[in-house]
Amino acid sequence: MSGDGAEMLARATWSALVEPGDVVAGTVVDLLGAVGALEWVRAAVRSGPDLAGLEERHGPLDDADRRRVAKAVARWAVRLPDCDARRDLEHLDRLGGTLLVPGDARWPSALDDLGSEAPFCVWVRGEPDLGAVLAPSVAVVGSRAATSYGERVAFDLADGLTAEGLCVVSGGAYGIDAAAHRGAVARGGRTLVVLAGGVDRAYPAGNARLLEAVVGAGGALVSEVPPGSLPTKSRFLQRNRLIAAAGRATVVVEAAWRSGAMSTAHHAARLLRPVGAVPGPVTSMASAGCHRLLREGVAVCVTDAAEVRELAGVIGSGLEAAADAARSADGRAARHQDSLDPVSSRVLDALSRRVPTDVDRVASLAGVTVAEARGVVGLLELSGWVVRRGTGWVAVRIATS
């Protein structure tokens, strides 16, 4: 097997040997390389850890470090006999999948920001060029126990982001995650599902068709654990760091006061990625986590795809201006009069729509000079706001619909 093949096998082995986010493992691999670290572990299991070998690269280890390493070796020793990377890779092969390791041109470099908590490798089903899929991307996450409001917002956000060419990253769960993936797929876009268990397992089973549709639409299912691995609670929590790292920004659509989506938001914040939260009714517990993120300053308030794109720092297609205009439409009638200067506005207010008012009276009512009142009604007449009737003036009703 070539050097690259050995590296892949070693990383595949590491991904089966240790639980996701095992910092000791990450550090040992950083120090010795995946292949060297695995040889070091095999020797350690046979004859005790070679701490001097580690210290050569790391510098002196203190007693606490030594204890942590010894304990790690003891727990890795339990699983080592069961690890068989060739078997796992054959399994992946039967699924038509791809193993990505750092250095591969298709590797999603965003994950490197996780440092010694980065995954050893990524097991992929679907489009293997994750670098291309993710450029650029936004994580859209939230509660399994979502409301119809939250699901609608997640779908619409994903639809809008996909239309703008952004990849939506989420966890494939029921509720917000599924709605986000659906919005992306419905728009014909690529979306990334980061699973807590193996990519052979459609989890939850009720989303199996959705996950197939993601693959069919050119997206991908990914996991840091080999095919066959169960999605345990701790893997769900660790999985959240991958979602946060994969997106340029993370948006929480609905989340209870404590929830997995909150952990994803905090992972993103620790990675210095922007975090957005979609507000909702304060009477809805499903939005309590979003409001908490806003109150605590962890997240910025986002209400549509244009604002999320802005959060992620992705240059847009000018749709913001249109959205701003649409938002302002409800204030159109008010804006008409707002467009007047304060004196003109006061003069207009002083006029009745029925009974003509003469200029002296207008000046008194509006609190302006007679000369001002005369000048202003003349200008207002030119703009169609008022008409002369007899010796006075009346305001014209402006259509507001």
Residues in contact with a second copy by the rule CB under 8 A: 18-19, 22, 71, 74-75, 77-79, 82, 149, 152-153, 230, 232-234, 256-259, 278-283, 285, 287-288, 290-291, 294-295, 300-304, 307, 327-328, 330-331, 334-335, 337-338, 342, 345-346, 348-350, 360, 363-372
Least Å distance, CB 129 to a second copy, is 31
Secondary-structure percent of the chain, ordered helix, strand, coil, rounded to 5:
55, 10, 35
What DSSP designation does 357 have?
B
H-state helical runs in 80-207 = 85-94, 130-133, 148-163, 176-186
Cβ neighbours of residue 308 closer than 8 Å, sequence gap 6 or more: 138, 157, 160, 161, 249, 251, 276, 302
Least Å distance, CB 99 to a second copy, is 20
Least Å distance, CB 296 to a second copy, is 9
Least Å distance, CB 132 to a second copy, is 31
Beta bridge partners of 300: 276
Cβ neighbours of residue 13 closer than 8 Å, sequence gap 6 or more: 38, 83, 85
Least Å distance, CB 276 to a second copy, is 10
- Shorter beta-carbon distance to a second copy: residue 135 or 285: 285
- Shorter beta-carbon distance to a second copy: residue 300 or 396: 300
| Separation of first and last alpha carbons in the chain | 74
Least Å distance, CB 45 to a second copy, is 12
**Separation CA 112–CA 207 (nearest Å):** 29
Least Å distance, CB 97 to a second copy, is 23
Q: Dihedral sign, CA of 113, 263, 272, 320?
A: positive
Which of 153-188 are b and which e, b meaning 16 or more Cβ less than 10 Å from the residue's Cβ? bbbbbbbbbbbbebbbbbbbbbbbbbbbbbbbbebe
Do the beta carbons of residue 91 and residue 226 sit within 8 Å? yes
Least Å distance, CB 322 to a second copy, is 14
Do the beta carbons of residue 51 and residue 74 sit within 8 Å? no
- Shorter beta-carbon distance to a second copy: residue 22 or 104: 22
Cβ neighbours of residue 154 closer than 8 Å, sequence gap 6 or more: 140, 142, 146, 176, 177, 179, 180, 183, 253, 254
- Shorter beta-carbon distance to a second copy: residue 301 or 319: 301
Q: Which tokens in the block code for residue 148?
A: 């119809």
